[in-house]
C-alpha cells in the first residue's frame, strides 16, 4: 500500500483520537469510517427536490392539521 504523510495540528490529532472505536484502530480506518458516515448523511437530488416541493406546499398552505391526518388514518389523539 502506498502511504503519504498528512500534516495535522496537534489539536486536530487529539480530536481524531476521540473518534477511535478501539485502541488499536488505525487513523486510516478512523478517517475512512468518518468519510463513510458523512456520505450516508448526504441527500440525493430526488430527496432535495421532494423537500423543495414540500416546502412550496407549506408556503402555499397546502397542509393538513394533525387532527385531519389522525381522522383520515382512524387514529385517536389523546
Model confidence pLDDT, tens digit, residues 28-42? 999 999 999 888 778
- Looking at residue 38, what is its pLDDT? 87
pLDDT in tens, 21-70: 999 999 999 999 999 988 877 888 999 999 999 999 999 999 999 999 99
| Sequence-separated (6 or more) residues with CB below 8 Å from residue 63 | 57
pTM of the model: 0.53
Q: How many helices (H) and strands (E) does the chain have?
A: 4, 0
69 vs 64: CA distance, rounded Å: 7
- Looking at residue 23, what is its pLDDT? 93
Q: Find the helix or strand (DSSP H, E) in which 61 lies.
A: none
* Dihedral angle sign, alpha carbons of residues 13, 18, 23, 24: negative
Amino acid at each position: 500500500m502506498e502511504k503519504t504523510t498528512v500534516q495535522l495540528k496537534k489539536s486536530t490529532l487529539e480530536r481524531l483520537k476521540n473518534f477511535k472505536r478501539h485502541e488499536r484502530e488505525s487513523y486510516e480506518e478512523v478517517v475512512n469510517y468518518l468519510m463513510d458516515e458523512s456520505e450516508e448523511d448526504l441527500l440525493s437530488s430526488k430527496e432535495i427536490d421532494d423537500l423543495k416541493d414540500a416546502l412550496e406546499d407549506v408556503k402555499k398552505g397546502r397542509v393538513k392539521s394533525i387532527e385531519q391526518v389522525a381522522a383520515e388514518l382512524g387514529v385517536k389523539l389523546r
